[in-house]
């Protein structure tokens, strides 16, 4: 039961990372409370990844790396 709940939380977090990443392409969307909330919960792990893997040619791969790591972690839970 706890593993199912953790799996659900990781799935929701992955969706939020995708929404946050897509929203960053539209600056007018990032000016509301929802994106402020997303930034507070998603930016800390992204910043950690960016310290290890900086953007390459202007492309930030940190969301993709975070999602990949979460999927691997989710796989080990099952």
Q: Write down how long the chain is.
A: 78
Give Cα 47 to chain centroid, integer Å: 11
**Per-residue pLDDT, 45:** 97
CB 37, CB 29: distance < 8 Å: no
Q: What is the mean pLDDT of residues 73-78?
A: 90
Question: Confidence class of residue 61 from pLDDT cuts 50, 70 and 90?
Answer: very high
**Per-residue pLDDT, 1:** 87
From 28, 17, 25, select the one nearest 69 (Cα to Cα). 17
């Amino acid at each position: 039961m706890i593993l199912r709940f953790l799996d659900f939380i990781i799935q929701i977090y992955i969706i939020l990372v995708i929404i946050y990443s897509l929203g960053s392409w539209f600056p007018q969307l990032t000016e509301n409370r929802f994106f402020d909330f997303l930034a507070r919960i998603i930016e800390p792990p992204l910043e950690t990844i960016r310290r290890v893997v900086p953007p390459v040619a202007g492309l930030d791969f940190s969301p993709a790396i975070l999602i990949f790591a979460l999927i691997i972690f989710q796989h080990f839970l099952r």
